[in-house]
Amino acid sequence: MVSRVVVAILGLAAFGGVALRDQTALNQQCREAVDKLWPQWRFPKVSPEVREWATSRREDPTVAYGDFDGDGRQDVALLIQTASESASIKIVACLSRMGATKPVVVEKPYCTDGIRRVLKGKRYHDFSEREGTYPKDGVHAYCFEKAGATYIFTDGSFQQIVDSD
């Protein structure tokens, strides 16, 4: 019995290692694609409060992983700044099926304090008076403790759902 448990744990650890390697490779490919589009890009400055909150949730407020296009494979989204002014903050997503070399961009996110993944199946209330369930993972851009919007990849671009106010 003990040996089966050990084998199961080792199998899960190996799978976790593969997933982490895939995540790291996708992240690197995405950053290289962003380098080609905006050679001077950087991650925006994150307030200490946002950094502390995100860290307590084991998240990075500038990087989110999820299955944003619903194909069953890991994708990555980055919150980036392409120029010195804060108005240049964008969300860039690299979707596995499109290849990390063709990022999908949200030019003017609703909020820019941080991003995180919203899970497929979660209920939402859109402040334009719609309610529903997220059909796939989304990228949530938040104004810390104020508001936010989730972006769902649909028909080749991200559609905004203002879901916190």
Residue listed under structure tokens 């999820």 = 66
- 96-138: pLDDT as tens digits: 877 666 899 999 999 999 999 999 999 887 877 788 899 999 9
CA distances from 38 to 31, 56, 70, 81, 115 (A): 10, 31, 27, 9, 20
CA distances from 154 to 75, 124, 165 (A): 15, 17, 23
The two three-digit tokens of residue 12, written as one number: 């899960």
Tell me what pLDDT residue 7 has: 42
Tell me what pLDDT residue 21 has: 52
- 78-97: pLDDT as tens digits: 999 998 776 799 999 999 87
Q: Give which of 44, 71, 74, 72 is closest to 60, Cα–Cα.
A: 44
* Phi/psi of residue 67, nearest 5 degrees: -95, 80
Tell me what pLDDT residue 119 has: 95
Does 27 score more than 50 pLDDT?
yes
Does 11 score more than 60 pLDDT?
no
